[in-house]
Amino acid sequence: MKKRQLGSSDLFISEISLGGMSLSTDKIKASKIVDMALDAGINYIDTADLYDFGANEEMIGAILGKRRQDVIVASKVGNRWTEGVEGWHWDASPSYIKEALHASLKRIGTDYIDVYQLHGGTIEDDWDGIIDTFENLKKDGLIREYGISSIRPNVLKRFLPASSAKSVMMQYSALDRRPEEWLDFIANEGASVVTRGTVAKGLLTNSWKERLQRVNGFNTYTADELTATLTGLASHYDDLHALAIAFNLKESTIASTVIGASSQEQLAQTLVAYEKIDSIIDFKAIKELTKAEQYMDHR
């Protein structure tokens, strides 16, 4: 498994990352998936305090155990919930970020989080306070690097130039190309992109025909457009799963693609696809068959 530098940091993360959100809540099943990922050279695991309201962090920490120091763990903050109350609300206040970090550290059973990310954000947030908080947490050794999970252009333009953030997590795939406009900007600010949604809910895998039956379009693609696009891609490329990964990793700004796995079989399919990506060098057809849209809101 190849690794790439996360922005200008000292962290080098695997080109495929394991998304914690998709893990089974059964610890035995989840352990087998995590073990398989680590054995394959995956060294980056993405979680968040919101996933299963902290239980995902707890389980990942328990599974890693003594191997914690060999893994780059990323978590997120900002979605606040109250025990016994349904739902959650946004809280990016400095006091809550600090409180939530200590709660995450306790759940994971660790002294530090490698990459701590704001789990969203609006232009109205106290960005000076947020950045100062992250910088102080880094100075105190409680986090190694920080970043944000957001696709909002106005938020990225406010946050990145004023901070030393090294990671931007955003949804990006051949079926959602909106981030392309911002890749150079992000790289120039010393950060990398870690993508989610790489296989577009399974539409960009070799089970695309089956997945098509379960959806009525995707993003701005109508059902008919989606069928035509995927049929066209399948006629040009032998393996849509490998294509999806190769399409993202062709961008130097992208350090890793986070792909979830709810079973060992799903992870195995991703690993097999990853081994094929070097053979995909012509992306002309995929660019012609997919929409190169821009993110029009929050500009």
Backbone torsion region of residue 27, taken as left when φ is above 0, otherwise alpha when ψ lies between -120 and 50, otherwise beta:
alpha
Please list, in sequence order, all residues whose beta carbon lies within 8 angstroms of the beta carbon of residue 44, skipping any fewer than 6 positions away.
Answer: 13, 14, 17, 18, 71, 72, 74, 194, 256, 258
**d(C-alpha 112, C-alpha 34), whole Å:** 20
Please list, in sequence order, all residues whose beta carbon lies within 8 angstroms of the beta carbon of residue 3, skipping any fewer than 6 positions away.
Answer: 12, 13, 14, 15, 43
Compute φ and ψ for 145, nearest 5 degrees: -145, 170
Please say if 51 is a catalytic residue.
yes
Burial letters 1-30, b for 16+ CB under 10 A, else e = eebbebbebebebbbbbbbbebbeeeeeeb
Terminal C-alpha separation, the chain: 37
Strands 167-171 and 89-90: unpaired
Active-site position among 44, 51, 116, 172 = 51
Quickly count: other Cβ atoms within 10 Å of residue 63's Cβ: 22
Catalytic residues: 51
